[in-house]
Amino acid sequence: MNALSEREHVDFLVLGGGVAGLTFALEAASHGSVLVLTKRQRSEGSTQYAQGGVASVLGPDDDFDLHIQDTLVAGAGLCRREAVEVTVREGPDRIRWLMSLGVELDREAPDRLHLTREGGHSRRRVAHAKDTTGREIERALLAACDARGIRIEEDHLAVDLVTSGKAGIGGPSRVLGAYVLHRDTGVVSTISAGATILATGGSGKVYLYTSNPDVATGDGVAMAYRAGATVANMEFFQFHPTCLFHPQAKSFLISEALRGEGGILRNAAGEAFMVRYDPRKELAPRDVVARSIDAEMKKRGDDCAFLDMTHLPKSFLLEHFPHIYATCKEFGIDMAAQPIPVVPAAHYQCGGVVTDLVGRTSIPRLYAIGEVSCTGLHGANRLASNSLLEGLVFGRRAALRAADELSEGSGPPPHIPDWNPGAALAPEEGVVVAHNWDELRRVMWNYVGIVRTQKRLERARTRISMLRNEIRDYYWQYNLTPDLVELRNLADVGMLIVECARQRKESRGLHYILDYPKSDDRWLRDTLITRGDLE
């Protein structure tokens, strides 16, 4: 049954129930009515799968300047310093807030958290709950929402934002709400809102191999782009160096924390190869490690690399990484006795919908928080474990700002026209959708992956442009299905990545292009895209 009426109005419409959306909801709930929508089960999203933890200044040998510096170095000159400052400085309070909600983080003494280390961090500063930190955070945030009576409706997929222009209202554009498809009934509801918050997460599913769950189809970026919001830096897609390489393992991450605790990367001949690529070896930033693995595999013609933990006691591995240990075991790999086969995979979208320091996008009444946003924190490459932190910090900041905006008054809810299904027919060619989806992801993997060339980008652009035309025709002919909505979004996101990558004529951070292998200070700026730039 569809839990939404065909028309509803709320003060805060939150699209997404991960760390960013739920933080927003909890902070906004005392200021107005909140509706959180999730497109599948309510806990399903990247947050739930986060392993390593949350980075913050919590150790006796650490300070804000060091965390700021590490973030800026990883970001390769493109971080926005103010965004880094607020995130780092508000971090410890956010961790205390999580603990006040009942999040159980590992401790090394009753009054001291256990902190792990990850690549690019000059100190141990990653707070964690064993190797399932995200699951613990998501659990506690959902429980807190339930305790406060916050309404969360699952299986509801936002299809498009409604702008004042689309509703026939004159004056400067603003966002009035969203059209929402119910997964089971196919009914499209019209939800108007005082503020609409994109907390839809990332877009790893645009690539063939990814650590991301199925919901990561870039819906928020695509909807915001179509509504006219500014999008930036989509060329900076982070590839995690180590996902499990096994034919039956779908998207299983092998946390960077394993390297933080001494894991060694080896090639198929058993050689520890990172020393040949970077003096920081296994703990170099992710872009460096992922490229090194890619180069080593290509040089030798290997299918994968190996992460060796066998020099560490089994009891230590079981104590710190019980989930990874058990999952590898399910696939017949005993990580205490044999190296784990690993490959890089698409992991994190560093660019996204451009926001200010309180989550506002370039369109009034539209906010973006979490992975969908581009706050300036990550620049050209995200420092490990800074993204859960970003969701916590910006979720709160956006909620406070949206509450202020609500109290300033927005007048009576405007009338939004009902969804117009046109002459839509029942979809009969599911196979077309599946085929296009597969082709898009392969094109992105083969032509817009870890190492790029101008020629491959041009090839990708031509293919994706054809796919977008096909999808557009199909979209307006047939009734909406979740697969079709997601395919349309993925194609838009793919094109945004290609277009940003084509524009940047240098290599920086996560964008590595053989035609321009060096950084060039003339490109020390964001790659900005707004509606119309892709057509």
Residues that bind ligand FAD (CB under 6 A): 15-21, 37-40, 44-47, 49-54, 133-134, 157-158, 199-202, 211-212, 215, 219, 253, 348, 370-371, 385-388, 391
Classified as helix, coil or strand, 188 is strand
Residue type, 103: V
Task: Judge whether 286 counts as a catalytic residue.
Answer: yes
Give 469's Cβ-side CA count (13 Å radius): 6
Beta carbon nearer to ligand SIN, 133 or 163: 133
Cβ-based nearer residue to ligand SIN, 215 or 416? 215
d(C-alpha 117, C-alpha 53), whole Å: 10
Q: Quick one: which of 40, 52, 25 has its CA closest to 348?
A: 52
Q: Is the dihedral of CA 308, 309, 310, 311 positive or negative?
A: positive
Decide: residue 183, CB within 10 A, 0-12 exposed, 13-18 middle, 19+ buried: middle
Nearer to ligand FAD, 49 or 419 (CB): 49
Least Å distance, CB 51 to ligand SIN, is 4
The yes or no reply on residue 106 touching ligand SIN (CB under 6 A) is no
Rounded to an integer, what distance in angstroms lies between the CA atom of residue 48 and that of residue 60? 29
Query: Between 153 and 302, whose beta carbon lies closer to ligand FAD?
Result: 153
Among 384, 392, 484, 500, binds ligand SIN (CB under 6 A): 384
52 binds ligand SIN (CB under 6 A): yes
Does position 257 bind ligand SIN by CB under 6 A? yes
Residue 211 binds which entry of ligand FAD, ligand SIN, none, with Cβ cut-offs from 5 to 8 Å by kind?
ligand FAD
Number of residues that bind ligand SIN (CB under 6 A): 8
Closest Cα partner for 273 from 285, 259, 289?
A: 289
Closest CA to 188 of 14, 511, 422: 422
Site string for ligand SIN, 268-297 (x = CB under 6 A): ------------------------------
- Beta-ladder partners of 10: 193
Asked whether position 260 contacts ligand SIN by CB under 6 A, the answer is no
- Nearer residue to ligand FAD within complex by CB, 214 or 302: 214
Which residues in the 386-405 window bind ligand SIN by CB under 6 A?
A: 387
Where helices occur in 408-518 by DSSP H, the ranges are 430-447, 454-477, 482-503
The interface partner of residue 38, options being ligand SIN, ligand FAD, none and the CB cut-off 5 to 8 Å by kind, is ligand FAD
For the window 236-255, what string marks contact with ligand SIN as x by the rule CB under 6 A?
A: -------------------x
Q: Which of 286, 291, 488, 508 is catalytic?
A: 286
Q: Where are the alpha helices (DSSP H) in 62-151?
A: 64-74, 81-100, 133-147
Cβ-based burial of 79 (10 A; exposed 0-12, middle 13-18, buried ≥19): buried
Using CB under 6 A as the criterion, which residues of the chain lie in contact with ligand SIN when the complex forms? Answer: 51-52, 255-257, 384-385, 387
Residues with a known catalytic role = 286
